[in-house]
Amino acid sequence: MAKKKDNKKRRRQIEIVVPRNCPFCKSKTMPDYKEVDVLARYMNDRAKVLGKSRTGICAKHQRRISLAIKRARHLSLLPYTPSLD
């Protein structure tokens, strides 16, 4: 029995590795829900929270970033969905 050859190329997803340079650890501060401009840097254009592999934040501050973004959304400081600009 002959093997059926698959001509489809296997696609590999290349992930860009960002070095761990947590700005919150360096300045010894915590993310705050009132600092909307800081929190917006850790969201993409579709209003989703970026992962720590994309932002370079440590795990502790990544958890606090996501909590601060959720609080800011609840208070209508940040959008739940992307804006239609």
Could you read off the pLDDT tens digit of each residue along the chain, which spans 85 residues? 566 665 666 666 776 677 778 999 999 999 999 999 999 999 999 999 999 888 899 999 999 999 999 999 999 999 999 877 6
The pLDDT value given to residue 53: 85
The pLDDT value given to residue 4: 62
The pLDDT value given to residue 19: 72
**23-74: CATH topology:** 30s Ribosomal Protein S18 (4.10.640)
0.85 exceeded by pTM: no
Long-range contacts of 75-81 (CB under 8 A, 24+ apart): 75/33, 77/33, 77/34, 77/36, 78/36, 78/39, 78/40, 78/43, 78/47, 79/47, 80/47, 81/47
- Kindly state the helix (H) or strand (E) to which residue 37 belongs, with its residue range: helix 36-40
